[in-house]
Structure 1
Amino acid sequence: MSTIHFETELERVLRGENINIHHDLTVPKLIEKSLERKEGILTASGAFQATTGKYTGRSPRDKFIVFERSVKDKVNWGEVNQPISSDIFERLYKKVIHYLNQKDELFVRRMYAGADKAHSLSIRIINEMAWHNLFVRQLFIRPSIKELASFIPEFTIISAPGFKADPAVDGTNSEAFIIISFEKRTILIGGTEYAGEMKKSIFSVMNYLLPESDVLSMHCSANVGIEGDVALFFGLSGTGKTTLSTDPYRNLVGDDEHGWSTNGIFNIEGGCYAKCIHLSKYKEPQIYNAISYGSVLENVVVEEDTREPDFDSSYYTENTRAAYPIEAIPNAMIPSIAGHPNTIIFLTADAFGVLPPISKLTKEQAMYHFLSGYTSKLAGTERGVTEPEATFSTCFGAPFLPLSANRYAEMLGEKINEHNVNVFLVNTGWSGGPYGVGKRINLSYTRAMVQAALQGDLKSAETVIDPIFGFHLPTHCPGVPDEVLQPKLTWKDEGAYKKKAKELAIQFNENFKKFNDIPINIVQAGPRIK
């Protein structure tokens, strides 16, 4: 199938001969359409609430990249980047187009990914559902009227959640599928209503395209201080990436995805997709207040009479989400562009209770922990998880990295060297014992430690070296009790602490064995067990 013919099938549908095609609708019209179509409800704050049925999170087993000549020697194929043939993709594409052609109406939106114009990607999103079109309107970067006049899409998302694949016939793993074709410049999504698949698919695309232009793509949040100092926050879901970067005393660049070019950093998105289980107006006022008219609540329980969200309920899922434009944060940077980072913070929620609340990393340790991407799953969050489990996600974003992990790690190391960046590891998890015994580290303490790191208060602080992990631990930090800074001092039984620390260290070392061609000085920067 030629590219011209491939595009023509879609363009024929979008001419709207049989379907009412809605182009770039405003927020009020999208909300009206979503309500009219009974896709969700309006909450007391004006946010639109929708549920996503069976799929309440990403479906990694159903994500594929088309095995095409131009990418076959570049993509790091495996469990994350599953190959699928061009024939299967094109047959599914035809079926989806035929399915959409039977609909009464579709919603089309033109957006950008990448706030730096030199590295932006123009994207077109075609949605079966109105609220999905509202979601992408809030999450990606909105073109100006002038930009729309000359807009040419470089990538297209086709989202048809109502179309369910037949694995036996269509060559998928289930009814759901998320397929990226780099040659056809198309992302095909079906069988799942989870809106985050659109966001993360574009991130995967950018993680392939940006390094080709010598730009490091990163799964991190970023903010800027009043002196212009830039901080990056890397971390997996639940570690506090969005919470800690949304700081009333610093300007928010973005909460999840960024590029780092020769000019500095830039946000890949135009909005935020905050996890909002147990969201508190007291602890996270900026995020709480951002959930207003036009924002989207995904799988959040809403009281029937008052239409007030119950952020503490996990009735549908623990993975409740709020999507809102970055402008909803009062001190957001528009455009979302900043200089080179001064500080990098790796966030982990250690449920074993042995990692220090904050530690200074050498460049080699930074590379080791970037490749490791550690946090922990908690008992009860997934079926079969009865005790905390160590989780390692390469570069803090393994599910979205089409290229070899070494490529991203090498680029980060070069930039740390070039710009003399300070790197810290911050544990937002447990202290005084593992989950179920110890307590979660006080958020006010974490904020104080992060502030001290960003302001340079820890540069001259006295430190001790952790005998197992090799970290430099400050013995004093403003606003934090001294005993909190050293994990073993918070445990009642030092022997139990050492045993648990060694257990985690062994898991770090076992995980690192999967990497090849890593310099020995980086390998040796990991935990050491006598």
Structure 2
Amino acid sequence: MTTINFSNELSELLRGGNVQMDLPVSRLVEKALMRKEGVLTSKGALSVETGKYTGRSPKDKFIVDEPSVHDNIDWGAVNQPIDKEVFASLYKKVIDYLKTKDELFVTNAFAGADPNYRLPIQVVNEYAWHNLFARQLFIRPTEEELETHEAEFTVIAAPNFKADPNVDGTKSETFIIISFEEKVVLIGGTEYAGEMKKSIFSVMNYLLPEQDVLSMHCSANVGEEGDTALFFGLSGTGKTTLSADPNRRLIGDDEHGWSHNGVFNIEGGCYAKTVNLSYEKEPQIWNAIRFGTVLENVYVDEKNGEPDYDNTDLTENTRAAYPIENIPNVIMPNMAGHPSTIIFLTADAFGVLPPISKLTKEQAMYHFLSGYTSKLAGTERGVTEPEATFSTCFGSPFLPLKAARYAEMLGEKIIEHNVNVFLVNTGWSGGPYGVGERMNLPYTRAMIQAALLGELDGVETVTDPIFGLHIPLQCPGVPDEVLQPKQTWDDPEAYDKKAKELARKFQENFKKFSHVSKEIKAAGPVDFTLNASE
């Protein structure tokens, strides 16, 4: 049996002469260039490639099955258990491996902008650019805070250490393992930096609800009148793009907590998708990509250093990691009051959901639990075109607890703060993927602006006969026919067939939520499972 003292092993590693502690951004960029980990673009961003892993590896993610968490974790395909002895053996191997490196890079940071709920962390990296990524994505302590900083969780990332599944108990060479008792995230076999970010999010999704704080996979911003808005949606549905509004101040683009005091960002940076990025469509993100930014898997012209965001030879999951301060109208610290509006974003590959619809409280709970969208190409390995998928709470890959825990907390807060909830489709219109076209971004912006300003509150709506959604008949800045998805299709019968197909998928997926109330179950689409031949 493998018996080790985890904290002693880590302390010995961090006392090594190869450790570079809390290097500033400029030094980390220098180190990355000297080590040939990346190249500079014309604007000074550090461009890197992550090899064959250009997205998360969810099948290689584990949680150590420990007595203190065993009864709390929602074990299954998402939260796969791994034995503590197996973890201990792998941990020792990684530590011994890192001791042999010429240099190690360590950054101390926080997760959680609200001092009442923040988690002090440290990130240990084999690569300088990984440490730069961590420095930009997590919350950076002040010099005064750094003096008293004591990490409560440690991320150790060793991309060049590859596991042997036959020996190490993993499923492949790659592993992402969380130990809540030892307060460690162990990552190896993958260069994709997003694993560090999402692992700490998973940790916060376990710790925050224990403090009566709802952790959320969403972006958030606040208006001039102090009105806070949340944007839920999986990667690629537009959270980052749509929350970067020049008329509103950004709280954060991906991960938040909702406490009794209001909303706070869990991170200190943004991790924006850059595929087809242009100044005309997304000027704030375009301008945020400068010195200190990490560009992942973006093609860069060797002659002039210009990035080509339309080039997807490496992956469609091209990314930019930059500090949130690079966005001009960000609120600092990243905290605001209770939300008045919640928007669920979905990229509907079937092309049948309306561009915007108002949800009742019961419909809000139904669609939050459903978390429907299309898994977009490049976000995970092996996905080459959009696939219809349901991700509970719009973030099931990162939820260690049972979904009902998060859903019940959200439902209580919607009622307590009288929040308006909308479902917005940023996916396809006029037909399914391959036939229709992606929703016009200016139209989506106009609809969201109308929702945030209350301009849809008194607008007449029509109830969709299949999905039961309340669709506004008019919206400022949007042609009326665009609001009714069936009217955008050339063949109404084809629309009905595809809509019923999606309705059946909703019904089939929702069977796993047998414990919810009849009112919530009835808030979904009409049940066409008995007429599957339609």
TM-score band by shorter chain is over 0.9
Find the counterpart in structure 2 of residue 351 from structure 1: 349
Find the counterpart in structure 2 of residue 326 from structure 1: 324
Displacement of 1:238 in angstroms is: 1.3
What is the aligned counterpart of 1:528 among 509, 526, 529? 526
- The aligned amino acid for 1:136 is A
State the Cα RMSD in Å.
1.6
Find the counterpart in structure 2 of residue 61 from structure 1: 59
The answer (yes or no) to whether the contact 2:460–2:472 under 8 Å persists in 1 is yes
Q: What per-residue deviation string (whole Å, max 9, x for no partner) do you get for residues 482-515 of structure 1?
A: 1111111111221111111101100111111122
Q: Tell me the distance in 2 between the aligned counterparts of 1:386 and 1:108.
A: 35
SS for the counterpart of 1:218 is strand
What is the aligned counterpart of 2:34 among 33, 36, 51? 36
What is the aligned counterpart of 2:241 among 240, 243, 252? 243
The answer (yes or no) to whether the contact 1:66–1:85 under 8 Å persists in 2 is yes
Deviates more, 1:61-70 or 1:511-520: 511-520
The answer (yes or no) to whether the contact 2:55–2:378 under 8 Å persists in 1 is no
Displacement of 1:366 in angstroms is: 0.4
Find the counterpart in structure 2 of residue 188 from structure 1: 186
What is the aligned counterpart of 2:160 among 136, 156, 162? 162
Q: Tell me the distance in 2 between the aligned counterparts of 1:500 and 1:246.
A: 33
Find the counterpart in structure 2 of residue 401 from structure 1: 399
The answer (yes or no) to whether the contact 1:352–1:388 under 8 Å persists in 2 is no
Displacement of 1:3 in angstroms is: 10
Q: What per-residue deviation string (whole Å, max 9, x for no partner) do you get for residues 251-280 of structure 1?
A: 000000000000000000000000111111
The answer (yes or no) to whether the contact 1:157–1:198 under 8 Å persists in 2 is yes
Q: Tell me the distance in 2 between the aligned counterparts of 1:323 and 1:273.
A: 5
What is the aligned counterpart of 1:276 among 257, 274, 277? 274
Find the counterpart in structure 2 of residue 91 from structure 1: 89
Displacement of 1:441 in angstroms is: 1.7
Q: What per-residue deviation string (whole Å, max 9, x for no partner) do you get for residues 327-385 of structure 1?
A: 00000111000000000000011121110000000001000100111112468998987
Displacement of 1:211 in angstroms is: 0.2
What is the aligned counterpart of 1:288 among 278, 286, 289? 286
Find the counterpart in structure 1 of residue 418 from structure 2: 420
- The aligned amino acid for 1:528 is V
- The aligned amino acid for 1:331 is N
Q: 1:193 to 1:466 in 2, by over 3 A?
A: same
Instruction: State whether structure 2 residue 211 is matched by structure 1 residue 218.
Output: no
Q: Tell me the distance in 2 between the aligned counterparts of 1:400 and 1:437.
A: 33
Q: What per-residue deviation string (whole Å, max 9, x for no partner) do you get for residues 156-180 of structure 1?
A: 1111111110000000000110100
SS for the counterpart of 2:23 is coil
How many residues matched?
Answer: 528
Q: Tell me the distance in 2 between the aligned counterparts of 1:386 and 1:140.
A: 30
SS for the counterpart of 2:116 is helix
The TM-score, its normalising length taken from structure 2, stands at: 0.97
Q: 1:206 to 1:384 in 2, by over 3 A?
A: closer
Q: Tell me the distance in 2 between the aligned counterparts of 1:433 and 1:276.
A: 25
Find the counterpart in structure 2 of residue 364 from structure 1: 362
Find the counterpart in structure 1 of residue 489 from structure 2: 491
Q: Give structure 1 regions of 4+ aligned residues with deviation exceeding 2 angstroms.
A: 1-5, 377-389
Q: What per-residue deviation string (whole Å, max 9, x for no partner) do you get for residues 284-336 of structure 1?
A: 00001100000000111111111111101111111100000000000011100
Displacement of 1:88 in angstroms is: 0.4
Structure 2: give runs of 5+ residues left out of the alignment: 529-534
Find the counterpart in structure 1 of residue 256 from structure 2: 258
Q: 1:380 to 1:299 in 2, by over 3 A?
A: closer
Instruction: State whether structure 2 residue 22 is matched by structure 1 residue 24.
Output: yes
Find the counterpart in structure 1 of residue 464 from structure 2: 466
The answer (yes or no) to whether the contact 1:351–1:378 under 8 Å persists in 2 is no
Displacement of 1:5 in angstroms is: 2.5
- The aligned amino acid for 1:231 is A
The answer (yes or no) to whether the contact 1:112–1:120 under 8 Å persists in 2 is yes
Find the counterpart in structure 1 of residue 440 from structure 2: 442
The TM-score, its normalising length taken from structure 1, stands at: 0.97
Q: Tell me the distance in 1 between the aligned counterparts of 2:73 and 2:517.
A: 22
Q: Tell me the distance in 2 between the aligned counterparts of 1:174 and 1:7.
A: 27
Find the counterpart in structure 1 of residue 531 from structure 2: none
What is the aligned counterpart of 2:173 among 169, 175, 194? 175
Q: Tell me the distance in 1 between the aligned counterparts of 2:79 and 2:272.
A: 25
The answer (yes or no) to whether the contact 1:354–1:487 under 8 Å persists in 2 is yes
- Percent pairwise identity: 73
The answer (yes or no) to whether the contact 2:56–2:381 under 8 Å persists in 1 is no
- The aligned amino acid for 2:388 is A
Q: Tell me the distance in 1 between the aligned counterparts of 2:229 and 2:387.
A: 29
Find the counterpart in structure 1 of residue 516 from structure 2: 518
Q: What per-residue deviation string (whole Å, max 9, x for no partner) do you get for residues 211-238 of structure 1?
A: 0000000000000000100000001111
Deviates more, 1:202-211 or 1:312-321: 312-321
Deviates more, 1:431-440 or 1:277-286: 431-440
Q: Tell me the distance in 2 between the aligned counterparts of 1:218 and 1:333.
A: 19
Displacement of 1:446 in angstroms is: 0.5
SS for the counterpart of 1:117 is coil
Find the counterpart in structure 1 of residue 72 from structure 2: 74
Find the counterpart in structure 2 of residue 335 from structure 1: 333
The answer (yes or no) to whether the contact 2:105–2:127 under 8 Å persists in 1 is yes
